Amino acid sequence: MENADNVTLKEATDSDEKGLTRLYRKLYEGDEDQDFFKSKAIPSYFKSGSKVFIARSGNDTIGFVWAIYYEHIKSKGIGIIEELYVDDGYRGRGIGKELVSKAIDYLKKKKVLVVIVTTDPQMEDAQKFYKAVGFKVSREWFYYPLP
Architecture of domain 7-132 in this structure: 3-Layer(aba) Sandwich (3.40)
Tens of each residue's pLDDT in the chain, 147 residues? 445 468 999 999 888 888 888 888 788 776 656 565 555 555 665 666 689 999 999 999 999 999 999 887 766 888 999 889 999 999 999 999 999 999 999 999 988 888 999 888 888 999 999 999 999 988 766 777 677
Sheet of 60-70, strands arranged across: 7-11, 50-57, 60-70, 78-86, 115-117
Indicate the helix (H) or strand (E) that contains 24. helix 17-27
Instruction: Please name every residue paired with 70 in a beta bridge, in sequence order, or none if there are none.
Output: 78
User: Alpha-carbon distance 61 to 124, whole Å?
Assistant: 25
What residues does each domain of the chain span? 7-132
Provide φ and ψ at 119, rounded to 5°.
-140, 155
